[in-house]
Amino acid sequence: MIQSPIAGRRGLIVATAAGLAMPSILRAQGTWPDKPLRLIVPWPPGGSTDLVARIFQPRLAEVLGRPVIVENRGGASGSIGAGEAARAAPDGNTWMLAYDTEATNQTVMRLNYKALEAFAPVCLVATGPLALVAHQSTPYHTYQDVVEAAKKSPETINYATSGVGGLAHVATTLLQQKGDYRIVHVPYRGGGPATQDAVAGHVPLFMSNVVVISQHIKSGLLRPLGVTTRTASRHVPGARSFAEQGVADFEAPTWWMLLGRAGTPDPILARMSAAMRQVVQEPEVRQKIEEQGADVVASDPEGARRFLSNEIDKWAGVIRAADIRADG
């Protein structure tokens, strides 16, 4: 078939345009990062996600050669900051340190994005236990003390978490289902505010990751009654897991994950993943994170994606069965 001169010129124009664009894209990827990077933390200052981010932030900036600026965008169990990150351009300049609520929010809330479509998982940074703690002034010395008191007087004992529908809330709901008792949920706008009230004794029980309460456990101000890892955790000496206390097959580890925008060029995602895995495995950074009560994982992107997908699926059934909603 003989191609017309016009069609030939059109093909040449398209090919030339593509040829001109490709070096530009490659140059942009090759020089990344060429400006300061945003690291959205979808929680207020003082919570675990903020603490973890600020541990690795300075070293990540050194490795990448550009400032990494933490931006706290708290509210609505992390969904406000996550929504902002989901709307960012996929140019490698905006990243988010997600908390475990990113998985549960997918079922609890009506979001304008789906996590596995909006984000590119980069690295599962760390996991750790949640701990149910009681203020030292309370009569609760064991988890069984709480169960017995709650059965005698249902819905009279309050417990705090960092927000509605977060893993701490959903995990405690599952404990109640399995133990056939009822306590009252008091949600806060993040781990920092919840910790303040728990330490002050304004709420008797608090289900939280260990990162924000480890120092208060060590001081004796907060008394650990159980941890959500399958077995006892080195981060909460003397506390047994709920599974070891008779709650069969119970496991609900908390986690932190670095996410980029879906559509970000693969070379940029790969470089960020390599940088994060290097940084969080460096002895000084690892030690600081693990001193807070978490275990560094430093997974690759595929491992992070698989983990996030499993968490979304795992907790969806519990949330629907308990009819947990963002306004509840």
pLDDT confidence of residue 29: 53
Which residue ranges form the domains of the chain, and what is each CATH number? 35-127+254-322 (3.40.190.150), 130-245 (3.40.190.10)
Output Rg (C-alpha) for the chain, integer angstroms: 23
pLDDT in tens, 205-260: 999 999 989 999 999 999 999 999 999 999 999 999 999 999 999 999 999 999 99
pLDDT in tens, 137-181: 999 999 999 999 999 999 999 999 988 899 999 999 999 999 999
Statement: residue 12 has pLDDT above 90: no
pLDDT confidence of residue 11: 44
Mean pLDDT of 89-104: 97
Average pLDDT over the chain, rounded to whole?
Answer: 91
10 Å CB burial of residue 267 (0-12, 13-18, 19+) is middle
Which of these, 158, 160, 166, lies nearest to 74 by C-alpha position? 166
pLDDT in tens, 290-302: 998 999 999 999 9
- Asked whether 175 and 181 are in contact (CB, 8 A), the reply is no
Query: Which residues, in sequence order, are CB contacts of 240 under 8 Å at separation 6+?
Result: 226, 227, 232
What's the token pair of residue 291? 């001193």
What's the token pair of residue 41? 């933390």
Mean pLDDT of 70-87: 94
pLDDT level of residue 21 (50, 70, 90 thresholds): very low
pLDDT confidence of residue 221: 98
Statement: residue 10 has pLDDT above 90: no
pLDDT confidence of residue 111: 96
pLDDT confidence of residue 326: 80
pLDDT confidence of residue 280: 98
